[in-house]
């Protein structure tokens, strides 16, 4: 039996919508990352981008479990001396709520050129409306 390897030009891409309202951040991110990566397809190949497009709506209404809203810390460094920036999810939510989901999903895809191509297929929207209606996205339920 031969080993099957998907070709990038043979992949048919679909669009999916995930509603993050009152859903746990990690569960939404895992579902989105698996669809973006193509792990829900039978033709999944690790070194080929076989995934689909994902639109996450109501990103501002996503829920963090436990006390993560105040205790979790996002750290980044600007490159200048003494410029380490520390934020909690509460501060990030005030400033730019879609960033919570974008960071969570980004951490779940490969950190290389393939991961960059996969990550570009993620669209995160704060409200219930998105501008990708022409693609006729399918709704995805989170269990």
pLDDT digits (tens, 9 = 90+) for 31-57: 999 999 999 999 999 999 999 999 999
Lowest mean pLDDT among 7-11, 23-27, 116-120: 7-11
How much is the pTM? 0.93
In this structure, the strands spanning 138-140 and 84-87 are: unpaired
Mean pLDDT of the chain: 96
Give CA angle at 69 (67, 75), nearest 5°.
115
What pLDDT, on a 0 to 100 scale, did the predictor assign at position 143? Answer: 80
Residue in 6, 1, 33 with CA at minimum distance from that of residue 18: 33
Query: For residue 1, what pLDDT band results from cuts at 50, 70 and 90?
Result: confident
Structure tokens at 81: 């001396």
């Amino acid at each position: 039996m031969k080993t099957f390897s998907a070709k990038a030009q043979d992949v048919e891409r679909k669009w999916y919508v995930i509603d993050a309202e009152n859903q746990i951040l990690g569960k939404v991110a895992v579902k989105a990352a698996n669809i973006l990566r193509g792990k829900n397809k039978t033709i999944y190949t690790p070194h080929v981008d076989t995934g689909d497009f994902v639109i996450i709506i109501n990103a501002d209404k996503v829920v963090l479990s436990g006390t993560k809203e105040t205790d979790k810390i996002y750290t980044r460094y600007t490159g200048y001396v003494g410029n380490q920036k520390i934020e909690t999810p509460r501060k990030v939510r005030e400033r730019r709520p879609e960033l919570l989901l974008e960071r969570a999903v980004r951490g779940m895809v490969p950190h290389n050129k393939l991961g960059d191509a996969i990550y570009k297929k993620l669209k995160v929207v704060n409200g219930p409306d998105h501008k990708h209606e022409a693609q006729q996205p399918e709704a995805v339920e989170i269990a």
